[in-house]
C-alpha cells in the first residue's frame, strides 16, 4: 500500500504520545506496526489481496494471516482495512480449494516453487508441505474479523465449501496410513525438509488426532501428531460450529464440526500429555500414538507456549502452567540463554539462536507485569540497531541474525506493543 489506512496512521500518531517515555520502543513500533502494509501487501484487481512473508515472494496461509492480525482491532471503522482483510481471506479460501495440502502459494499460476518435490505439483503452489495450522489460520482470521466488525460477507458458498474440504481432510488424516493420498519427498536436502517411510512419514497409531507432515516451522514432524496444531484445530472447529449455527443456520455442519472437535480433543488429552518427573503433567510437542513423544517446544506458532493465545485453554489451566515452566527452562532443548536474551528458538535456525516470535509470545501469554517488561527489554536490546524483528538471533551477539525482513515477527511484536499500550503498562514503567 502506498498510503496507510487512516486508522493505522491515527494509531501511529497516538503512539508518539503513549510511548513518549520509551523512545527506542516507539521507534520500533512505528517501523514494525505498518510493515506488513508498507512492504508485503498487494491489492489485486479481482478484489483479493496477496501478502508475501517478506524476503520470500510467496504467500503462506499461516504467515499471511498472522501478519495482519494486529490490524483487526482497527478494522470495524476502516473500509480500507476491511477491503484488505476480506480480500486476503477470499484469496486464502481460493488457495485451499486449489490444494488443501499446500502451505504456500504463488500470486499467479506461474510454476514458481521452492523446489521440485516428489508430490502432486500445481502451478499455483510454491510449496506443498502439509501442516495442520495452514488450514487453521484462514478460518481463525475470518472468525476474528467477523467478531471485530460484525461483517459476515466472507462466509459465502466458497468459504462453506472450503470448511467441508478442511474437515474431510482432517478426517482422512486421522487414519493417515490407511486413507491419506498425501506423499512428499525432497531430494538432496536436510532430513528436516522431507518425509521418511516412502514419503509418508513415520508410522502413527489411531488416536483421534489428525496427522501433520510438517510443523509450523516447515520442518518435518518427528512424530505425526503435532499437539499444538491439533489444539489449534480444536479451537477452529469450535469457530466453524459457531459460524454454521449463527450465520448459515446449518445444523449438520455444526454436528460435523463438534464430532470432529471432540475426537481430536480426546486424542490430545489421552495421548498428548506426559507425567514429567520435575514439572508434573505437561503437554508433549508431538506423539505417534504408540507411546513415543517429543518433549520440546519451538518458537513458531502454534506452539505449546501459545496455547492460551490460540484459545485452547487459559493460563490458569494447571497442565498449561506446568508446560510453560518446562518450555521456558533448559529442559526444553530449544530454550537458550545468552548475554543479551533468554528464550525459545527452533531447530529451523542455527543452534542457540532465539526467536523474537518466541519472546513476543512469552509476553503475550504472561500474567506478571514484570515478565512482560523483561521481555520488552530483551526485544529492544536485540534488534541489532535495525528497529525491526528478525527470524532468529544469537543471544550473545544479536548482530548475527537470520531473515532481516520477516513480517510475521514484526506484526507479532506490534501486537504485543499495542496490547501493552492499551493495558497502560508502559505508563507505569
pLDDT in tens, 285-301: 999 999 999 999 999 99
* Confidence band, pLDDT 50/70/90 cuts, at residue 427: confident
Residue 152 lies in a domain: yes
Residue 98 lies in a domain: yes
Burial of 391: CB neighbours in 10 Å, binned 0-12, 13-18, 19+: buried
Give dist(CA 34, CA 12) in Å, integer: 9
Report yes or no: 182 and 172 within 8 Å, Cβ to Cβ. no
Range 160-166 contact pairs with CB under 8 angstroms and sequence separation of 24 or more: 160/248, 160/250, 160/253, 161/97, 162/93, 162/96, 162/97, 162/100, 163/139, 163/240, 163/243, 163/244, 163/253, 164/253, 164/256, 165/96, 165/97, 165/100, 166/96, 166/100, 166/135, 166/139
Whether this prediction's pTM lies above 0.95 is answered by yes
Give dist(CA 223, CA 201) in Å, integer: 8
Question: What would the pLDDT profile of 225-240 be if each residue is shown by its tens digit?
Answer: 999 999 999 999 999 9
Question: What would the pLDDT profile of 385-408 be if each residue is shown by its tens digit?
Answer: 999 999 999 999 999 999 999 999
Residue 365 lies in a domain: yes
Residue 14 lies in a domain: yes
Domain with 285, as residue range(s), is 6-428
Per-residue cell: 117: 518435490
At residue 419, the 3 state secondary structure works out as: helix
The pLDDT assigned to 429 comes to 58
Report yes or no: 55 and 403 within 8 Å, Cβ to Cβ. yes
Question: What would the pLDDT profile of 46-90 be if each residue is shown by its tens digit?
Answer: 999 999 999 999 999 999 999 999 999 999 999 999 999 999 999
What single DSSP character describes residue 118? B
Residue 1 lies in a domain: no
Q: Around 115, how many Cα atoms within 13 Å sit in the side-chain half-sphere?
A: 13
Based on the structure, what is the number of domains in the chain?
A: 1
Give dist(CA 223, CA 272) in Å, integer: 11
CATH code of residue 277: 1.50.10.10
Average pLDDT, the chain: 97
Structural element, H or E, at residue 274: strand 273-276
The pLDDT assigned to 426 comes to 86
Report yes or no: 170 and 210 within 8 Å, Cβ to Cβ. yes
User: Is the pLDDT reported for residue 1 higher than 90?
Assistant: no
Residue 211 lies in a domain: yes
Amino acid at each position: 500500500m502506498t498510503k496507510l489506512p487512516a486508522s493505522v496512521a491515527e494509531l501511529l500518531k497516538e503512539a508518539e504520545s503513549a510511548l513518549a517515555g520509551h523512545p527506542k520502543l516507539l521507534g520500533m513500533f512505528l517501523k514494525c506496526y505498518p510493515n506488513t502494509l508498507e512492504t508485503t501487501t498487494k491489492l489485486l484487481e479481482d478484489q483479493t489481496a496477496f501478502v508475501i512473508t517478506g524476503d520470500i515472494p510467496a504467500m503462506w496461509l499461516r504467515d499471511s494471516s498472522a501478519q495482519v492480525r494486529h490490524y483487526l482491532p482497527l478494522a470495524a471503522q476502516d473500509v480500507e482495512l476491511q477491503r484488505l482483510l476480506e480480500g486476503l481471506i477470499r484469496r486464502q479460501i481460493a488457495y485451499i480449494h486449489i490444494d488443501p495440502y499446500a502451505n504456500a502459494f504463488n500470486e499467479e499460476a506461474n510454476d514458481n516453487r521452492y523446489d521440485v518435490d516428489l508430490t502432486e505439483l500445481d502451478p499455483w503452489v510454491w510449496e506443498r508441505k502439509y501442516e495442520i495450522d495452514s488450514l487453521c489460520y484462514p478460518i481463525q482470521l475470518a472468525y476474528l474479523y467477523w467478531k471485530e466488525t460484525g461483517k459476515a460477507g466472507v462466509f459465502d458458498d466458497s468459504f462453506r465449501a472450503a470448511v467441508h474440504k478442511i474437515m474431510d481432510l482432517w478426517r482422512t488424516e486421522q487414519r493417515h496410513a490407511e486413507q491419506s493420498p498425501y506423499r512428499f519427498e525432497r531430494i538432496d536436502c536436510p532430513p528436516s525438509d522431507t518425509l521418511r517411510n516412502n514419503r509418508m512419514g513415520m508410522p502413527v497409531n489411531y488416536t483421534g488426532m489428525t496427522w501433520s507432515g510438517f510443523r509450523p516451522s516447515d520442518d518435518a514432524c518427528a512424530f505425526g501428531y503435532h499437539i499444538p496444531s491439533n489444539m489449534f484445530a480444536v479451537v477452529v472447529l469450535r469457530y466453524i460450529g459457531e459460524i454454521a449455527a449463527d450465520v448459515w443456520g446449518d445444523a449438520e455442519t455444526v454436528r460435523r464440526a463438534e464430532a470432529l472437535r471432540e475426537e481430536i480433543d480426546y486424542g490430545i488429552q489421552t495421548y498428548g500429555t506426559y507425567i514429567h518427573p520435575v514439572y508434573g503433567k505437561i503437554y508433549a510437542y508431538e506423539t505417534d500414538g504408540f507411546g513415543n513423544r517429543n518433549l520440546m517446544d519451538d518458537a513458531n506458532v502454534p506452539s505449546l507456549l501459545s496455547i492460551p493465545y490460540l484459545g485452547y485453554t487459559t493460563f490458569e489451566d494447571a497442565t498449561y502452567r506446568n508446560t510453560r515452566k518446562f518450555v521456558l527452562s533448559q529442559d526444553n532443548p530449544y530454550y537458550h540463554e545468552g548475554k543479551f536474551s533468554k528464550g525459545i528458538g527452533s531447530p529451523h535456525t542455527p543452534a542457540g539462536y532465539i526467536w523474537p516470535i518466541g519472546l513476543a509470545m512469552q509476553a503475550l501469554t504472561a500474567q506478571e507485569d514484570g515478565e512482560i517488561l523483561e521481555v520488552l527489554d530483551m526485544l529492544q536490546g536485540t534488534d541489532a540497531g535495525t528497529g525491526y524483528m528478525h527470524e532468529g538471533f544469537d543471544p550473545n551477539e544479536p548482530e548475527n541474525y537470520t531473515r532481516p525482513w520477516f513480517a510475521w515477527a514484526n506484526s507479532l511484536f506490534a501486537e504485543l506493543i499495542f496490547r501493552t499500550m492499551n493495558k497502560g503498562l508502559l505508563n507505569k514503567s
